[in-house]
Structures are given as C-alpha cells and as structure tokens.
A and B are shown apart, each in its own frame.
Chain A
C-alpha cells in the first residue's frame, strides 16, 4: 500500500517550525544582530481626537531619519522606522510595543504615546530590556519617581514640573508688576488639568505670596460649550485667569470668551496657547494672551530653529507641534549616542546616552542634555510670552532660567519623597 501525504502541514514541518519559533523567542538578539538595517519601533496615536499630534511626531521622526540615513545611517546601518497606531489606548500601546520588538525585530523603541500610554510602554521596556526613548509624555513622575527608573529608558520630552516652575515665576513677575492679586483658574477636569493647575498655583504663590485664587472652574474634557464657565468667571471679577485647556477646547473657549470681551477685562495665562495647532486655527486670536512656548519657530530665536520649522513646513505643508521637536531631538540624541558608542548595541547606546550633551536647534543655549541622574531631557528652550493675531504669533518669549528650574525641581523631588 502506498502511503499518501495528507494535505496540510506535516508533523515534521510543524516540529521544525515550532523549533525555529522557540529559538527566535529564546534568542531574539541573535536573530537581530545579523540584520543590516536597524529597525526602530514606534507606537503613537495616529487615529482619534489627538491624531494630529501623533502624525506630527511621525513626520518629525521621518524628517530626521531621512537625514541620518543620507549621512550613512547609525554606525553604517540604515534606519527603518516601524510606526504603528495605538489609538491612544494604553493596553494597545503596550501590545504594539511588545509586538514591534518580538515579532518585527525592532532593536529600539521610540515611545510616541501621551502620558497614559507611556507608562504602559515603559513597563514593556522594563520587561524586554530594550532601549526605549519616550518622546511625548510630559508626566513628571515618569522619570522623577525612582520606582520608575530603568537604565534602558530615557525621556526626551519637556516636563510638567519644569513648565510649572517657569510659568509660575513668569506669571508672578507680571502679577507683581501689574498688581494682579485676584486670580481665577479654568482647566479641564482630569489628571493633567488638575495637576498642572495645582503646580502652577503652587509656584505662582511661592513667587508672589499675596496672590489669591478666588474662583476655580473645571469644565469636562471636550465640553462643547463654555458659556456658563465664561460668565461665572466674569461674575467673580478676577484680575487674571490661568487655564491649561488645550487644542479644540482652548479654541472654543477663546471664541466664546471673546464675545463676552473677557480678554479685555483680565490678564489671561493660557499655557497651551503658543502651539501652531491652536494659533493657526483661532480666527480672532486676542492680542496679549500669555502663553508658554510649546513649539514655535521663533523661540529660541536662532537660524537653526527657524530653518528646522521651515523645512518641516515645506515637507508637510503645516507647522510642527510640540511633539515634533521632541521626536526630532530623540533622533538627534540617538544618532550622537551611537557615534559615541560606535555601536548599535542597546546597552552600549544607553550608556552613551546617559549625560550626553548635543548641539540642538531646540536648546536654550543651542544644546540639550540627557541628564544622567534620571535619564531625562534638560536644557531645552522653555519660556513664556504674549500673543499677537498673526505670525510670528509670539514675537517675544521670555526664557526661563534653568538654574532656578534645577533648584526648585530638586526641592519638589524632595517634597515628593523621590530623593
């Protein structure tokens, strides 16, 4: 009797496949080391309400990677970015990150997630030991909290606590000069809004002790109408208003507050105003809103920064966002670290990254540093200024002082029990 082969996969082939699979899972580094191109995985938010930020992150990374590849790549290896949508969901971000390393063979990760997802990706990096650079999460605890610290993860992002210190001291100086004692706040009712507003108020009162917060409003995130909040603030008659509303919520708020002439009745401090996504959308931008710099091509006022903003705009037909400069900086830092380590091995690159200072268009003094003690970016351009309705939107930005930031940050860390 002749034995016929059953259709489908034979037992021998199955065993071989399982064996190969086991080898790949057990020793992923071996399989990867042979690849000529180097794959970098990146989960980020490419759909949903904040898709614009994720897209601008991807754009910035690709813009920089193109330059690196044209100059010969990372230690002779061309970079291939594998960028996937996490839909802004932490569990999806973690799943995508794991898949990028285990299945796609990515040797490094750029974590392009907002705060919520970044902690999930951070855990994946802890588990897999892969080099991971966070490029979007501003939550201070991600690197400030020693419990979060792992040697293979870095944050290349501005930080909430830095912004609060600079914002508080800037606002306090104006409060003193103009005698603004009665303040109101209006911020979205979720963790970011509550924390940021609390920290801003803390430093505002520290620098200007006679300031008093007389009214607080907490509209919910993505609320369509703010009329009742606007009129409530008008009733309270504060001399100044702080808000950390952002994006479409901020532009709605401005349009609705504008017709009540709110901006003529008090000084307004909107930390997220000076971002092109909001600046270019608001049709009747009031003059004189105080804002922190998110990304603006005129601050720092250097030819390098202006050229970078223009190059981005020329390629993508829109201005970069705050997330863009951070992602671009991550590529720049990585490139320099690989040069210094003369290797693409994750551990060696991480060692080279620690404490690395590079020339950068977004540095306060033309350089930025990956601080060794907590693997986080410092020395980036940070400041506040007032708006005008047309380009350059924020003509003069008053730079924050990094010496003060360092002092108060250390104090804050101590108060939180981090050091």
Chain B
C-alpha cells in the first residue's frame, strides 16, 4: 500500500489530469465492449460469453484495412462494419437456435465459439502477435493540460466512445427503433404480436452489440498487441462492468466502466499490489448493497 503516493497525486493537478484521463481511456474502451454485452442481455436475455471475439475481430479487421488502405478512418469503419455483419450472421445462424434452450446450453454454444473464433483468427492471421502501429497523424508529442500528460490519440478515443454512448442513448430513448428495442426487452411476445419482425430485431441488436465491441477493438488496435484470445481478457472486465452497472442498463455500463477505469488508474498508485483485487472488492460491495447493480432494475 502506498497511500502517500495516492494522496500526493490527489493534491497535484498535473497528476490528477494524467491519472483521470488514463482512467477514462481504460473505461471508455471497456464501455464499448460492455455496452454491447448489456444490450444483448437486455433484449435477448442471453449472456453472450463470446462477446470478446467481436472486440478481437474488430482489431484484426482494422489492422488489415489499415495495412491495405493506409487510412485510419477506413480502418475504424471496417472494424465496426465487419463485426456488425459478423454479429448478424452469428445471431441468425447459431444463437437464434438456442434462445429456447436452458442457460447452460447457451453458455456452451458461446464458449464453443470463443474457441472457434480464436482458431479462425489463428488460421487467417497466424498465431504470433501483431501490431497495427500508430497512424502518423497521431504520432505527435502529447498535450500538456494543467501539467498533466494527455496523448491526442486518447482524446480522439474518448471522444468517439462518448459519441457512441450518446448516439446509442438518444437512439434508444427518442427514435421509433429505440422504442421497439425497449419494448422487445420488456415484452417480446407483445412486440411480435404487433407485427414486428422480432427475428430481424434480434439480429439487429446482436449486430449493434458486435459493432460496438468491434469499434472498441479497432480503436484499441493502434495501442494494444493483437493476438488470438485477446478478447477473453477484456471480456472478464466487461462482465464486472455490467454486473456493477446492472445487467441491461446502458447508463450502468457507462458508469461502471468509468469507475473501473478510475479504480485501475488511481488504484495502481495507492495499491500497486492490489489493483486487480480492488476491482473485485468494489464489485462485491456493489452487489451486497445493490444486488441488481447500480442501475439494474428489479426483476418483477
């Protein structure tokens, strides 16, 4: 434990800025993965254990597109669009068959695909780790805000993730499609009785969830090494986020992800040997005081 370091940091604006942005970056990338997970659970009532694979595919798609076109924007687009398509196919061909089955069966199918997707990546891109490299536009010295260090790429990353959160939140709250999705989460039988194609809706939600995770992977690709199995490590933390925020809640995912990010960044100063444990401890505290998570609704 190093409480002095933590107190010293809290007293210094430079350190506060650096550590807070560092927490935001970790949090926002986590949010993109976790929000898809929570969205799919909210509407489809399926815990998509294979969700990390979309993050992985997003990163690999972005890297390949970047190598072929040398365009960062296209790389991000490919990462997001490619995983959306993959999500749609995955839901229609495989997941839609196990909605009626029990939870163990769904979990088994998802876990099978964790392994299958990892092997697919291994076959296409090879078993060794890869690196996409930072686009030259972002190879610039970091900004100094109140003495704190903030890399420009991370500002973009936070901006894109925030924009995604905003569009998603407003889209669900204000648009007709959003209303239908919320209705389907509440009462799927009634929605389909009203003549809405629930198959398409479910596929669409899965594609959206996949796309967000893919975007997360694409944004992470320039700074994280790409390996088969890279999805699994973010998946565990995403589960913690959804459990803290409340399964099915988008705002919960955002708050949960940011809290985890901040716990990591400040925890590494104050509790360098217990940063991981701190996350789980926090989860336990939340679960004991609010078993449905911070923003989860009681199941009627």
Interface residues of A (CB under 8 A from B): 47, 49, 51-52, 216-218, 220, 222-225, 227-232, 234-235, 247-249, 251-252, 255-256, 258-261, 277, 281-284
Stretch at the interface among B102-110, B177-185, B226-234, B288-296: B226-234
How many chain B residues touch A (CB < 8 A): the figure is: 46
Q: CB distance B223 to A231 under 8 Å?
A: no
Compute the total of residue contacts between A and B using a CB distance below 8 Å. 106
Contact between A234 and B149 (Cβ–Cβ < 8 Å)? Answer: yes
With contacts A217-B272, A227-B265, A231-B149 taken as known, whether A259 is within 8 angstroms of B131 at the C-beta atoms is: no
Nearest Cβ on chain A to B179's Cβ, whole angstroms: 36
B159: min CB distance to chain A, Å: 15
The answer to whether A261 and B269 have CB atoms under 8 Å apart is no
- Across the interface, do A248 and B268 meet the contact criterion of CB distance under 8 Å? no
Given known contacts A223-B233, A235-B15, A260-B149, A255 and B225 CB-to-CB distance under 8 angstroms = yes
Partner among B128, B132, B142, B265 whose Cβ is within 8 Å of the Cβ of A259: B142
Q: Which residue of B lies closest to A254 (CB)?
A: B131
Instruction: With both chains docked as a complex, state the minimum distance between the C-beta of A162 and any C-beta of chain B, in angstroms.
Output: 27
A222 CB contact (under 8 Å) in B130, B233, B272: B233
Contacts A259-B152, A283-B134 known; list 19 others, CB within 8 Å: A223-B233, A225-B29, A227-B26, A228-B22, A228-B26, A228-B265, A228-B275, A229-B268, A231-B18, A232-B272, A235-B9, A235-B18, A249-B225, A255-B224, A259-B134, A259-B138, A259-B151, A261-B141, A283-B132
Chain B min CB distance to A87 (Å): 13
Task: Sort A-B residue pairs by CB-CB distance and give the 4 closest, nearest first.
Answer: A283-B133, A248-B129, A248-B225, A259-B151
Which one, A232, A248, A277, contacts B227 given CB within 8 A? A248
Chain A residue with minimal CB distance to B227?
A: A248
Bound Cα distance from A260 to B148, whole angstroms: 11
Among A222, A225, A248, A258, residue most surrounded by chain B Cβ atoms (within 10 Å): A225
B272–A52 touching, CB < 8 Å: no
The interface bits of chain B over 156-195 (1 if a CB of A lies within 8 angstroms of the residue's CB, else 0) are 0000000000000000000000000000000000000000
Instruction: Check A232 against B268 for contact (C-beta < 8 Å).
Output: yes
> Are A217 and B268 interface neighbours, CB within 8 A?
yes
Residues of chain B in range 115-154 having any CB-CB distance to chain A below 8 Å: 127-134, 138-139, 141-142, 149, 151-154
**How far in angstroms is the closest Cβ of chain B from A247?**
6
Residue numbers in A under 8 Å from B223 (CB-CB): 252, 255-256, 259
Q: Are B131 and A281 in contact (CB under 8 A)?
A: yes
Given A224-B234, A249-B225, A251-B225, answer yes or no on A277-B128 (Cβ-Cβ < 8 Å). Answer: yes
Chain A residues near B154: list those with CB within 8 A.
259
Q: In the complex, what distance in Å separates the CA atom of A282 from the CA atom of B131? A: 6
